[in-house]
Amino acid sequence: MKIRFTVNGLEAELDVNARHRCIDVLRNQLRLTGVKEGCGEGECGACTILVDGSPVNACLMFAPQMDGKELRTIEGLAQGDALHPVQRAFAEAGAVQCGFCTPGFVMSTVALLERSPEPGDDEIIDALSGNLCRCTGYRKILDAVHLAIDLSKRASLQAQSGASAGTVPQPGGAGALPCSREESHKCNM
């Protein structure tokens, strides 16, 4: 069955097996292996991707249902070597142990912050309620989301002031790692 869709901004036209799931196409045909398969039943969220901006379990979607959709996976977040603010925040806050659940948590967080840039704790917890971490717990993941909120705010402020003043980003600004060691200790408390 032929389908057309965009993934991480690129147009794709593929022949897919209608029995396959979205995650099979992403991992096996497109080699987007950042999309992890945990439970395969929509319980763990490791395969979370964005479909037209909404978080979706790639294991609970038939391959033909990708047709006409705009998909984003963890691979599409970084711009060249520059990590997405949410990725930077997860690394800085140490919200990772084995890392298997991380792409899913990051994608759920991206979906949340695009919809609601400054969510409260209840909103964050609800947005991440479809993702499981079995290594460590959720404290540092929450810290990472808070850090991501700060980083995203700073990035958009910088983008605004940069645009209005026509200046290049300052050293230590958008280009550099925006979270110092000290700050990361703070967010871990």
Minimal distance, residue 84 CB to other proteins, in Å: 19
Beta carbon nearer to other proteins, 27 or 187: 27
Minimal distance, residue 6 CB to other proteins, in Å: 16
Backbone angles phi, psi at 89, to 5 degrees: -65, -40
Footprint of other proteins (CB under 8 A): 1, 18-19, 21, 40-43, 45, 48, 51, 54-57, 59-62, 64-65, 67-68, 108, 111, 126-127, 129-131
Among all chains, which residue has been given the structure tokens 């990035």? 155
Report helix, strand or coil for 5: strand
Minimal distance, residue 63 CB to other proteins, in Å: 9
Report helix, strand or coil for 146: helix
112 with 90: CB under 8 angstroms?
no
Beta carbon nearer to other proteins, 30 or 60: 60
Beta carbon nearer to other proteins, 22 or 96: 22
Minimal distance, residue 40 CB to other proteins, in Å: 5
Distance CA 173, CA 12 (A): 35
Distance CA 57, CA 131 (A): 10
